[in-house]
Amino acid sequence: MNIEINGQIFEITPEKQEELILQLWQMWLEQYAGISQGYRIIAMPFTRKVLLDMETKITKEQGKERAIAVCRPPKGGDPNLHLLWILAGFSREAMKYATICIDTEEATDTISDLTFRLKGESESGRSLAAGGDIGEREDDSSESSGHQIGPVVSDKQTLDFDDYKGIVQSDYAPRKPGSGEKYQVWQAVKLIPEEIEKWLWKVRHDAPAILVIDELYSLVYKRGEYSDEFNIIQKTGRSLPVGTVVSTQELSRIPQNAYKQSVHRLGFYLDGRYDKMIRDDLLKYKVEDPGDQFGFYYAHQNSRGEPQYFKNIQSFLR
């Protein structure tokens, strides 16, 4: 995809095009999450009919195996989301041949003309990503110089934390740890947004600390409502200091600002195809599924090229 500004052509690299597709997909997911379950169910017969028609056409042109791979949702998957994903693929293909033309009016600092045309085969331009990303992040805020182990929140009881001292199982935000308590594990029995926000406020005002969130999706309260306190911690954590360590298996259901600010990125095995795409976007590289049970890939926020692979956490810490 190219952008032409006042006759000067800039190329959007394939990597940046993929980022745009993922942003578009994220917007669709957020819009879809706001539709009631009843309307989703009503739409499914129509969606299945569209997918069936597509499958019939692709079968004639490319064979049954290819048609099934493209048009049939994963087992138990939502056909509406699958059709949206196919449409995102069309957008990806269209970007290869598209040029957005912009003419500006210097006197008024406005756009005087905005057109869209198909890109010619010989048309090329300067890369918009040649010198790195355009724009600056407000604050990467992920690393902290604090040494005290701060509170940990878990959205469910797990073996990962059951042998920790200081576990609190409650619907309500626990009190601040005492002076002799090095850490606190809050296993919220019921996720109450007001209580989670209250607890995160306590963490933010008890620096230095290290905050560990076992499942980041637990901080997405409903469509369009993501934890304000955690967002503040991410943006101001380095100055507090509060370091954050988060994990999730639900990348496709989390706002981008919740994970795009991460400095150190570990990519484990994921089931969902959409989650895998976002994982690869964070790692800045398309990777295969880890071959070891506890294997993962590591990439720094500023790294370029292929991420490092580790068989387990022990080999990573050596």
- Structural domain boundaries of the chain? 2-127, 151-317
pTM: 0.53
Q: Does residue 91 surpass a pLDDT of 90?
A: no
How do residues 33-46 score in pLDDT, each as one tens digit? 788 888 888 988 88
Q: Does residue 226 surpass a pLDDT of 80?
A: yes
Mean pLDDT of the chain: 79
Contacts (Cβ under 8 Å, ≥6 apart) of 172: 192, 195
| pLDDT confidence tier of residue 212, bands split at 50, 70 and 90 | very high
Q: Does domain 151-317 have CATH number 3.50.50.60?
A: no
First to last CA, the chain: 43
Q: Which of 246, 151, 139 is nearest to 206 (CA)?
A: 151
Please report where in the chains the tokens 């580790």 appear, as a residue. Answer: 310
User: Which pair of tokens denotes residue 121?
Assistant: 């085969």
Greatest mean pLDDT range, 33-37, 156-160, 164-168, 221-225? 33-37
